Structure 1
Amino acid sequence: MKKIVISLLVIIFCIICSLSFGYYSVKPLNSNEVKSTINYLSSDDFKGRLTGSIENYETVNFIKNYFESESLKPYNGNYLEKFSVLYPKKTDGIPSLVVKDKDGFIVKHYKYGTDYKEDMLNFRKNSLSFKKDDIIIWKGNTFQVQKGKDYFLFYNPENNKLNFRSSFIANSPHSMYIMISSKTAQEIKNYINSGYEISCFIPYENELTSAYNVLGYIKGKNPNLPPLVLSAHFDHLGTDLAGNVYDGALDNASGTSFLLGMVKYINSIGKPDRNIIIASFNAEEFGCLGSKSFVKQYKDNLRGGKVINFDMIGSNKSVPLSIMSGKWDTKNSNFVKEMAQVFSAQNQPFTYVFENSSDHQYFRAYGIDAITLSDADMSKIHTPMDKSAYIDTKSIDRCFNIASKEIDNYAFDNNVYLLYHRELFIISFIGMLITSILYVRFTKRS
């Protein structure tokens, strides 16, 4: 009887050992590979990946080719989801902000990038001339001009820094936004009060174009279960009129590269229990229009599922990782609370952010559980300083340690071999040795 029991134990330990050993082929996210991809996507060659630009289309093609190379299936039969957007198209001409006397002669030229610069919010109109009576609000170094039905805003940014570039929002209330230095604002005020006219021209215009999301998925054992969506946006803010490139390394070449790295990790695990949709969104910087298009079209397929979005992963500052969710969410919202427990189990500090400021926005608007994981470092965001040199692989690893636990939990049903394969292998290997020795000794005595 003892011999039979020992034999059974040897067999059980052998089975456990072989199963757990199989999970040693799992490939954790390689943060160095992720940073290499960030370096590539945020290089000047991509000129800031502005939606509507040739370089944005090149980014689409890069991601599509990656999906194919990693054997992702095209979502709904096509890797590309097309939607229409207005975008700021560069036109012919040179930017100008000038002062004219009553005879139309120019008495003052302001210097682009030093005295003034466009903010990218809108270009329904790209030129105007105004006098004192056209100014309807003047507060400090900021003033608003009305010309017919159009409104124009001239404002002095914090610390006179003209290198910030806002997202493009085609339905924003003003037809054009111009940043000016405090000195320029005061000079314009003096000129206006003395009867001079101010003229401004910025060579951009709003134009309708087609944009593309890139969508793939990993088929699960039960495709009828609500899916897990992993997402990130790849677009950024392009190049200004002086040729300064807004590379967008942290925002959001980092999230895109992290998302691509996660595909390799998931593929190495094996088949998930449910479908995992990998969504690379466009036009986030235009008001999350890519994710809006996706959710609007596929909301019925997404009901009951969960979304983890990655936006700004890899800050080299000592900032905690943030759980970001919708404006109307709280710490007690179901998915937010669930993610907070993952952080706590890892003894990982984190912060909460409740804003509609990334691609979780429209998922939440349709009642779909969604959060964004983000390093809340705004020090270089939307400036030419957002370079890959400032990306820290330790922060990338930190996000992986959190995201992978939730993926293991939701898409692989907390597979004990996936979670504890190292421990199970060691214990079962030792158990197999001990029981084998006992079996040999017992056999000899018999």
Structure 2
Amino acid sequence: MKRLFNQFITCIFLIVFFLSLNTYRTIHTFNVSTVIDTIDYLSSDHFQGRLTGTLENKEVEEYIKLQFIENDLKPFLGEYEQTFKLTFPNRINNKDPYLNVTDKQGNIIRNFSYAKDYKEDMLNFKNNKFSFNNKNPLIKSSDKSIQVKQNSDYFLFYTPSDNALQFRSSFVCPDPLSMCIMVSQDTLSNIKKYLSEGYNINCFIPFTNKETTARNIMGYIEGNDKTSNPIIISAHFDHLGTDLANNIYRGALDNASGTAFMLEMIKHLKSLGTPEKSILFIGFNAEEFGCIGSTKFVGKYKNYIKDSKVFNFDMIGSDRGVPLCIMGGENDTFKTDLMRSASNTCTDEHVHFNYLFQDASDHKAFRENNINAITFCDNDTSKIHTPKDTLEFISPSAIERCYNVASKEIVKYAFDNNPIIIYYKQGLLISIAGIILIILACSKKKYH
């Protein structure tokens, strides 16, 4: 009886060994260095900040599509692309910005310097040129701002809290402001002074709102269960372009990092074999315009994804005093299913984390339609939406910690929590140790 038990245990160890070894040999290890290289590429000079509507943004669309095809992802419902229309801030070439002061005869009294004294915010460009004086019907003034009404347009001058002209807002075409200008505190004080003396303030910014088309990019790994809604992995690839001094808003953390993370996850998950549920990968466009791409996607495909689980990646690559953040919608709590599941995995992996409940990324449209969705992010806002969001501040250890959590969550839902996939390393070590102990025990018994 004891001999049969030993043979049974030996068989178990051998089965675990061969299954774990096969997984080890076939798996594509998630490569953080590759993620870093892709972030470097997407945030390079060539893509000029990936502003939706620009040629460079369209090149990124094509790059992601080619990555999907090269990794043998299937087109979602027969298509790799979802095309939609939107308005974007189009730069007017061969035109220079100005902010100046003129007298009643039109003589220039003062020229302010672009990027030193003033700079456009990205918010809106429904009207890009205006003049006003203290006789305008509406001039609201505070310590940090001046709001002007001209005809049906509202314009805002404001001083950023740090008095620097680096931050660039997302573009929000429906915003009631027609244009928004950042100015230094000295410039704001000077404008108020010139207004009180009866001078005219004149401003022109060579951007204009223009309609264009953009694309989300979609591809999936087909699962065994073709009736179930897919597990969704997503990231937005757009950013904020360049300013009029040609400073590039590279968006390395926001969100070349999430895009690069998603692309590397394709290789890793493909190597695990056929999932039980299909895994749909989506590169969202126009997140910086108010999550337009993800809203368009959910609006069109809601009936195909209503029972999906969505794992979105936005800003993965900073752990300098910042925990991994699990972001849910404004109406979620830490008890919401995916929030609770991800937090438990963080605890199991000894990953320091916190919660955030904001509609501040592409999970928003899913949650508004009662589709399970969370965003993984490193909530470091110290450099985002500025030219300082560059590769040099990306942390490989932050990427690794997100992978340690997110990969297990995805395997849990897409591969039915397959223990061989999740614990293949442990299985390999334990089975080897068990086989060695059995061999030693048999040898000892034979020797005696």
Fold conserved between structures, TM > 0.5? yes
1:4–1:339 distance in 2 versus 1, CA, 3 Å: closer
Alignment of 1:300-339 (within 5 A): 300-339=303-342
1:325 is matched by which residue type in structure 2? G
Match of 1:214 among 191, 214, 217: 217
1:9-408 to structure 2, matched below 5 A, reads 9-24=9-24, 25-92=26-93, 93-134=95-136, 135-408=138-411
Q: Match of 1:314, as an amino acid?
A: G
Provide the C-alpha distance between the structure 1 equivalents of 2:349 and 2:434, rounded to a whole number of angstroms: 29
Letter in 2 for 1:57: K
Deviation string 1:135-160 (CA, Å, 9 cap, x unpaired) is 43111130111011111111111121
Q: Deviations over 1:310-347 (max 9, x none)?
A: 00001151210101111121222222122111111222
Q: Is 2:85–2:212's contact at 8 Å kept on the other side of the alignment?
A: yes
Q: After the TM superposition, which segments of 4 or more aligned residues of structure 1 sit over 6 Å from their partners? A: 436-445
Q: Is the 8 A contact 1:10 1:436 kept in 2?
A: no
Can you list the C-alpha shifts for 1:206-248, whole angstroms capped at 9, x where unaligned?
0000001110111111021232111000000000000100000
Distance 1:21 1:394 in 2: 27
Give 1:2 deviation, angstroms.
6.4
Partners of 1:296 and 1:122 in 2: CA distance = 25
Between 204-213 and 75-84, the greater mean CA deviation after superposition: 75-84
How far residue 372 of structure 1 moved from its aligned partner, in angstroms, is 0.6
CA drift at 1:57: 0.7
**SS of aligned partner of 2:162:** helix
CA RMSD after TM alignment:
1.9
Does residue 420 of the first structure (1) align with residue 423 of the second (2)?
yes
Structure 1 residues 326-335 or 80-89, which shifts more? Answer: 326-335
Indicate if the aligned counterparts of 1:90 and 1:204 stay in contact, CA closer than 8 A: yes
- 1:102 shift after superposition: 0.6
1:438 deviates by: 7.5
Matched residues in 2 for 1:304 and 1:349: separation? 29
The SS at the match of 1:200 is strand
How far does the alpha carbon of each residue in 1:404-439 deviate from its partner, in whole angstroms, 9 at most, with x for none? 110121111111111222232333344445656878
**Which AA in structure 2 matches 1:116?**
Y
State the alpha-carbon separation in 2 of the partners of residues 441 and 189 from structure 1. 94
**Structure 1 residue 66 displacement after superposition:** 0.7
Q: Give the 3-state SS of the residue equivalent to 1:48 in structure 2.
A: coil
Per-residue deviation, 1:11: 4.0
The sequence identity of aligned pairs, in percent, is 45
TM-score of the superposed pair, with normalisation by structure 1 = 0.95
Helix, strand or coil: the match of 1:323?
A: strand
Query: How far does residue 187 in structure 1 lie from its aligned partner after superposition?
Result: 1.0
Q: For the Cα contact (< 8 Å) 1:320–1:350, is it kept in 2?
A: yes
Q: TM-score, normalised by structure 2?
A: 0.95
Tell me, in whole angstroms, the C-alpha distance in 1 between the residues paired with 2:388 and 2:435.
Answer: 57
Deviations 1:287-331 (A, max 9, x none): 000101111111111112111110000115121010111112122
The 10-residue stretch of structure 1 (297-306 or 366-375) with the greater mean CA deviation from structure 2: 297-306
Between the aligned partners of 1:247 and 1:3, the Cα distance in structure 2 is 66
Q: CA deviation at 1:56?
A: 0.3
User: Whole-Å Cα distance in 2 between the matches of residues 44 and 5 of structure 1?
Assistant: 66
Show structure 2 runs of 5+ residues with no match: none
Which moves more between the two structures, 309-318 or 115-124? Answer: 309-318
Aligned-partner SS, 1:14: helix
In structure 2, C-alpha distance between the alignment counterparts of 1:256 and 1:297, rounded to whole Å: 22
Distance in 2 separating the partners of 1:341 and 1:2? 40
Deviation at 1:27, TM superposition (A): 2.5
Q: Secondary structure at the match of 2:203?
A: strand
Please give the per-residue CA displacement for 1:6-56, whole angstroms capped at 9, x wherever unaligned: 555544433332112111032231111100100010011110000000100
**Contiguous gaps of at least 5 residues in structure 1:** none
Deviation at 1:89, TM superposition (A): 0.4
CA drift of 1:348 comes to: 1.4
- CA distance in 2: counterparts of 1:393 and 1:31, whole angstroms: 6
Q: Give a deviation string over 1:148-204, Cα, whole Å, max 9, x none.
A: 111111111112111111100000110000111111111111111111111100001
Alpha carbons of structure 1 residues 146 and 214: separation in structure 2 relative to 1, 3 Å: same
Distance 1:164 1:2, change over 3 A: closer
Residue type of the alignment partner of 1:44: D
Change (3 A) 1:42 1:132: same
Q: How far apart, CA to CA, are the structure 1 residues paired with 2:395 and 2:39?
A: 11
